[in-house]
Amino acid sequence: MENGNAWNASFRIGPKRQNVWGWAHASEFFALGLGGALVLTRLLFGAGLGRWGGVEGAYLLGVLLVAAGGLVLIADLGKPGRFLRAAANLRHSWISWGVVADGVFLLGGLALVLAGGPAWVAWVTGAAALFVVVYPGLAMAASPSIPFWNTALLPLEFGAYSFAGAGALCAWLGPGGGPAVAVSAVSLALALSFTLLHLLGAHLQRGTARMSAGELVHGVGFLPLLVLGVALPLVVALLASGGAALSPGLWAVAAILALAGSWASKFAVLRVGYYAQLF
């Protein structure tokens, strides 16, 4: 009977949730974002994870994360053997550009890990890393079908969460110091701001964008996520920025919460992707 009702409901006009992108895409977006942000945090701000067995930890982990994210995506494809074709539509598709950026990032990142590489390799890898961080948001924001995603805030939001996770991880595991804490604090503040702006903007719209925002706030525990995954690590980062001596254990908790918040924010946005109604 339940199946029959679900079948009937699928033929009724009404808000329908997208159900083709889920945890695998959230994990992929998380891994790509964190990997790219780790490399950029090291390149731009000098904050890293220290040396791991003679190689730069931030570069190594960044490359491993982006490779893992790519593998998750390939495994989730309907036809994994055709994954290289995903770079074919550079004229229109952000995903195609993302595939190219992933490839450039992996090659450049490997060069940085193995040989240090000349300055131009670092810059090319950095540019690719920036694109790796934002392209999932750009691909989703380009869709006119899901109004909650169809906003320029989404790539900024995803990027801020990625840098928040990277900054917190560097502050926890790295040699310490101000840059990582500053990256973490600023990114967490931006992530919180972009999220609230996104929710407010969607709430002010009519239709399914408002429904998505409402479901985030009321339905899937997004507010606890904002408190635990963003606000709490932000307080820790602000305290550290103010000169407070924090124990490594507190940074560990803050970093794990920020990373969990980064993944969960992507998953939540994907989950509440309601198509606009036909009529």
Q: Please, what is the minimum distance in Å from the beta carbon of residue 241 to other proteins?
A: 39
Residue whose pair of structure tokens reads 């939001």 in the numeric block: 157
Q: Could you give the C-alpha distances from 39 to 93, 175, 272, in angstroms and in order?
A: 25, 16, 30
Span from 86-94, 172-180, 191-199, 232-240 in contact with other proteins (CB under 8 A): 86-94
Residues in the interface with other proteins (CB under 8 A) total 35
In the list 89, 177, 200, 204, the residue contacting other proteins (rule: CB under 8 A) is 89
Nearest-angstrom CA–CA distance, 269 and 140: 10
State the DSSP H helix or E strand holding residue 142, giving kind and residue range, or none if neither.
none
Are 23 and 267 in contact, with CB atoms under 8 Å apart?
yes
Q: Applying CB under 8 A, does 78 fall inside the site for other proteins?
A: yes
Q: Please, what is the minimum distance in Å from the beta carbon of residue 55 to other proteins?
A: 32
Q: Tokens in use for 101?
A: 């950026």
Name the maximum alpha-carbon separation found in the chain.
65
Site for other proteins in 12-71 (CB under 8 A): 12-13, 16, 18, 20-21
14-43: b (≥16 Cβ within 10 Å) or e: eebebeebeeebbbbbbbbbbbbbbbbbbb
Q: Please, what is the minimum distance in Å from the beta carbon of residue 191 to other proteins?
A: 23
Site for other proteins in 119-158 (CB under 8 A): 139-140, 142-146
In the list 50, 82, 116, 227, the residue contacting other proteins (rule: CB under 8 A) is 82
Q: Please, what is the minimum distance in Å from the beta carbon of residue 149 to other proteins?
A: 8
Q: Which of 26, 43, 28, 47 is nearest to 164 (CA)?
A: 47
In the list 52, 64, 93, 103, the residue contacting other proteins (rule: CB under 8 A) is 93
Q: Applying CB under 8 A, does 86 fall inside the site for other proteins?
A: yes
**Contact positions toward other proteins, by CB under 8 A?**
11-13, 16, 18, 20-21, 77-80, 82-83, 85-89, 92-93, 95-96, 99, 139-140, 142-146, 273, 275-276, 278-279
